[in-house]
Amino acid sequence: MSKKEEHLRKPEWLKIKLNTNENYTGLKKMMREKSLHTVCEEAKCPNIHECWAVRRTATFMILGDTCTRACRFCAVKTGLPTELDWKEPERVADSVSLMNLKHVVVTAVARDDLKDGGSAVFAETVRAIRRKSPFTSVEVLPSDMGGVLENLATLMDARPDILNHNIETVRRLTPRVRARATYERSLEFLRRAKELQPDIPTKSSLMIGLGETKEEIVEVMDDLRANHVDIMTIGQYLQPTKKHLKVQKYYHPDEFQELKEIAMSKGFSHCEAGPLVRSSYHADEQVNAAAKQKQLFGETTAQQA
Q: Which residues belong to the annotated binding site for [4Fe-4S] cluster?
A: 40, 45, 51, 67, 71, 74, 280
Q: Using CA atoms, how far apart are residues 277 and 256, in angstroms rounded to an integer?
A: 10
C-alpha torsion angle, residues 226, 169, 139, 91 (rounded to 10) = 150
Q: In what order do the strands lie in the sheet with 231-236?
A: 37-38, 59-62, 103-108, 137-141, 162-164, 202-208, 231-236, 270-274
Q: How far is CA 218 from CA 28, 38, 191, 266, in A?
A: 38, 31, 19, 9
Residues annotated in the binding site, as ranges?
40, 45, 51, 67, 71, 74, 280
Look at the alpha carbons of 8, 12, 14, 15 in this order and tell me if their dihedral is positive or negative. positive
Question: Using CB atoms within 10 A of its CB, is residue 97 exposed (0-12), middle (13-18) or buried (19+)?
Answer: middle
Q: What pairs with residue 62 in β-bridges?
A: 108
